[in-house]
Structure 1
Amino acid sequence: MKINWGTGIVIAFALFMSFILYFVFEVQSNSKYDNDLVVEEYYKHDSHFQEEMARIQNAHDLQQRPSITYTDNQGVKIVFPAGFESDKVKGNILLYRPSNKKFDFNTAIALTNSSLVIPENKLVKGRWDVNMEWQYNGKKYLTKEVIYVN
């Protein structure tokens, strides 16, 4: 049987469509390809955006800001300026892993000598987004940093 060029184009098109559909179904059904949202309640989170921007601006307006750094032998070290009274700082720290939400965790701020250390054994290698929501003297602040764990 001889196939003309029109039939060949139709067969090639059908094979290409089958190929694409196979991969779409494979990605949707296989748990290895996790395609969750970044935030569970996206619209609820987005409605508080202006408040978040005000807290970020409050933190930016400080003359002395807390520093968030990663050191190989300790982990993530958060140091507040000496002018802050440690017992008046309240809040929590969210360590967010963009590649896998299973590693995300929260830590309450409990300062020792105006600093806080998150041990290295709690952290997996790679990128971490650190969101520190804190309050000092009744004013709310939000500090966001990106760190890389080696």
Structure 2
Amino acid sequence: MNWGHKIIIVFILGAAGIVTLVVKSMRTRIDMVTGDYYAEELKYQQNIDAQKNAHRLTDPVVIAQTSDSVEIIFPRECLDAELKGEITFYRPSDSRRDFSVPVQPDEYGKVLVHRQRLDRGNYRIKVQWELDGTPYFLEKQFFVQ
């Protein structure tokens, strides 16, 4: 085989490699954090204010993991009041695993999310609630084991 054939083979292999990369990149899922990015950006200052309100609570909101559930525990001052809001479990690696639950704590201030709804891995938990007309917001990275 002469050098001309070898050059043609190298060009064909290179072109096949490029085509393979293009096909693989076209099939890769790209998940956005939110579909309505610009509207979320406009609400960002409200989230900052709500985070400040959450830091002013006497006790922080605690997110803990047990063998069968993830617990979101609200502080004492939230126990006797009517809370409105939602808890969002955002999975950065797969948006199909995202879900939300309403903020409906029990008499101990706990909201339980069963492990069957969660895959092992990294989540960003966003807790948004309102207490006596004041908005609160907490965002925390959490690893489910």
TM-score, reference length from structure 2: 0.84
**Counterpart pick for 1:136 among 123, 127, 131:** 131
Q: Please state if 1:19 is matched with 2:8.
A: no
Displacement after TM superposition at 1:86 (Å): 3.9
Displacement after TM superposition at 1:44 (Å): 1.9
> Are the equivalent residues in 2 in contact too, given 1:69–1:147 (CA < 8 A)?
no
**Counterpart pick for 2:118 among 123, 132, 148:** 123
The farther-off stretch of 38-47 and 82-91 is 82-91
> Are the equivalent residues in 1 in contact too, given 2:57–2:75 (CA < 8 A)?
no
Read off the aligned partner of 2:126 and give its amino acid letter.
Answer: N
**1:42 and 1:143 mapped to 2: Cα distance?**
19
| Structure 2: unaligned runs, 5 residues or longer | none
**Counterpart pick for 1:112 among 106, 109, 114:** 106
TM-score, reference length from structure 1: 0.81
Runs (4+) of structure 1 moved beyond 3 Å? 1-4, 10-18
- Once the two structures are aligned, what percentage of the paired residues are identical? 25
Displacement after TM superposition at 1:129 (Å): 1.1
Q: 1:43 to 1:13 in 2, by over 3 A?
A: farther
| Structure 1: unaligned runs, 5 residues or longer | none
1:1-80 alignment runs, 5 A limit: 2-3=2-3, 8=7, 15-16=13-14, 18-28=16-26, 30=27, 33-73=28-68, 75-80=69-74
Count, aligned residues = 143
Displacement after TM superposition at 1:88 (Å): 2.0
What is the root-mean-square deviation of aligned Cα atoms in Å? 2.2
Displacement after TM superposition at 1:131 (Å): 0.3
Counterpart secondary structure, 1:55: helix
1:112-146 Cα offsets, whole Å, 9 max, x none, are: 12111111111111111110000111110101112
> Are the equivalent residues in 2 in contact too, given 1:79–1:116 (CA < 8 A)?
yes
Displacement after TM superposition at 1:96 (Å): 0.9
